[in-house]
A and B are shown apart, each in its own frame.
Chain A
Amino acid sequence: MSNQEMLDKLRDIIVSQNITGCAAATQEALDAGLTAVEIINGGLSVGMKIVGDKFEAAEIYLPQIMMSAKAMNAAMEILIPILEQEKGPNDEGVGLAITYVQEGDIHDIGHRLVTTMLGANGFKILDMGVDVPNDKIVEEVAKYKGKKVLLVGSALMTTSMLGQKDTVSMLAEEGLRDAVKIMFGGAPVSDAWIAEIGADATAENAADAARVALNLMQ
């Protein structure tokens, strides 16, 4: 099998949501001499792009995109240790994503999906869970001051969404606003809200979130 055929196989495995097959094909590609970066950029990410496009076109749905993300995760579990070995000690990669659901809100399907997608796209993940108070978020961001950090907050309800405004202002009060990029998501979050509260970005869905996050961290 040529290198391109192996990459195409990885792409198709992601699109067809083959979780066990993805780990095996990734190992096969590594054994054949492909690098981790080649496998991600030429195979896995191409597959996830197709999956994201199909999701946005309402051709596939939440269960299918979750299966594809899980397949990608299975590959990343093999590839991340290799990437970390290849990187120097000071290379942070795309960065650390601190993900959470806003205080007063326990709806975490979107939060988990976005977290998975970010992990699958190379972010180190610190998942703070649900119902997270703003002072805990500020505390966590402060620990990583000076590093490449992306804050990713989720809120399903308009009532909990209001807390996102306080997140931004509390980070500013603590002198941390410029130390972190901030993305917020959830059903009521709009571009207008992001502009109003001074955050950096939002995204339409989990696939879009990974793309927006990578752009923000460039």
Chain B
Amino acid sequence: MATEYKLRMGDGKRIFMTKEQIIADLKEGMADAADLGSIPDLSADEIDKLVDILTMPSRMVGVELGKEVPVTHDIGTIRLDGDQGNSGVGIPSSRLVGVMMHERAFGADTMELGHIDYSFKPAKPVIAQEMQTMEVCQQNTIVPLFYGAMPNMGLYYTPDGPFENPGDLMKAFKIKEAQESMEHAAKHLTRDIVWIMQRMMASGADGVNFDTVGAAGDGDMFASLHAIEALRKQYPDMYIEAGMAGELMLGLHGEMEYDGTVLAGLWPHQQAPLAAKAGANVFGPVVNTNTSRSGAWNLGRAVTFIKQAVKDSPIPCHVNMGMGVGGIPMLETPTIDAVSRASKAMVEIAGVDGI
């Protein structure tokens, strides 16, 4: 009987696969990415390396010595505390304690302060609290500390915001009105992001992390790129990370452009140059995990997309690695066997500059 290796499905379920099955799934995932993004396949050597990584007997793996990369952390402070209606691990701790733990115990190279609602819009009414927390965190740490939130343009539509919901308008075939609503919402989102970051920078922030750009479609990316452009103009030395929501920029509007490029339909290697053009220092490419496919299929696909993004990006790429992205299963607390293997593959094969 052929030797079987322990892997996981995209939903985290433990599965057993032979080497031949792993190779077949890696190649199928790779081919899917290559076809969708019109990008090259991985080489035979790279497929072999992926097989080696997935079949290593250790429970967890690490990168080779000398290939270590910076690790940027996002809303991790809140994940420690489990008492705010979120998914924390139940350690009572303030956000300051969270930042300090990440800096001094967990080895984070940069860190982020984020609010429990984790979108720019709901940070507006609590801006004084956010400014004070940023200032106190900066006084107690030396780790580069950014303010982070999701652009989350969905919050600008009814029932959460002032603009008519494009989903409702489109259902009524009011397409033009839906597009206009997205354009209005985008202007307000840009304005809010800039307003919030002006105050966070005044409180000592080292920069901003745009988390899940494009989560509400191409209008969300449009607003975010314009906010990046405005912030770069006002703060030439500010650190700006543009992290994406998914591998494909969804065309909810379909015709929005940034600097002459239609945003809808962009893949990671096409998104990166636009983020750089807007003024970002670091690009955070994302490839979503398909929960119905194996870890091998997902990793083959994710590495193929990210490798091309790294190649085409004029700025460093810090790939998003976490639950449901980067070939990692969609679990609230992703398993270390999958996380460490996917991360090693991203560093050693895709060539990412950070995670």
Contact = CB atoms under 8 A, between A and B. Distances in A.
A108 to B, nearest CB: 6
Nearest to A107: B167
A61 B251 contact: yes
Contact of B173 (A58, A60, A66, A192): A66
A190 interface: yes
Given A63-B179, A109-B167, A190-B292, A70 B254 contact: no
Given A61-B254, A61-B264, A190-B292, A66 B170 contact: yes
A70 B178 CA distance: 15
Contacts of A66: 170, 173, 175
Report the contact-size class of chain B (Cβ under 8 Å from the partner).
Answer: 10 to 19
Contacts of A109: 167, 170-171
A85 B292 CA distance: 49
A64 B179 CA distance: 11
B252 A61 contact: yes
A70 B128 CA distance: 49
A64 B167 CA distance: 14
A190 B293 CA distance: 12
B251 A112 contact: no
Interface in B288-304: 292
A63 B171 contact: no
Interface in B255-303: 255, 264-265, 292
B248 A58 contact: yes
A190 B292 CA distance: 10
Report the contact-size class of chain A (Cβ under 8 Å from the partner).
Answer: 10 to 19
Say whether chain B's binding surface is mostly helix, strand, loop, or mixed. loop
B253 interface: yes
B265 A61 contact: yes
A217 interface: no
A66 B167 CA distance: 12
Contact of B252 (A60, A63, A108): A63
Contacts of B171: 108-109, 112
B292 A62 contact: no
A91 interface: no
A62 B252 contact: yes
B248 to A, nearest CB: 7
Interface string B230-249: 00000000000000000010
B180 to A, nearest CB: 11
A67 interface: yes
A70 to B, nearest CB: 5
30 contacts: A58-B36, A58-B248, A58-B251, A58-B264, A58-B265, A60-B251, A61-B250, A61-B251, A61-B252, A62-B170, A62-B251, A62-B252, A63-B170, A63-B175, A63-B178, A63-B251, A63-B252, A63-B253, A63-B254, A63-B255, A64-B251, A66-B170, A66-B173, A67-B175, A70-B175, A108-B171, A109-B167, A109-B170, A109-B171, A190-B292
Interface of A: 58-64, 66-67, 70, 108-109, 112, 190, 192
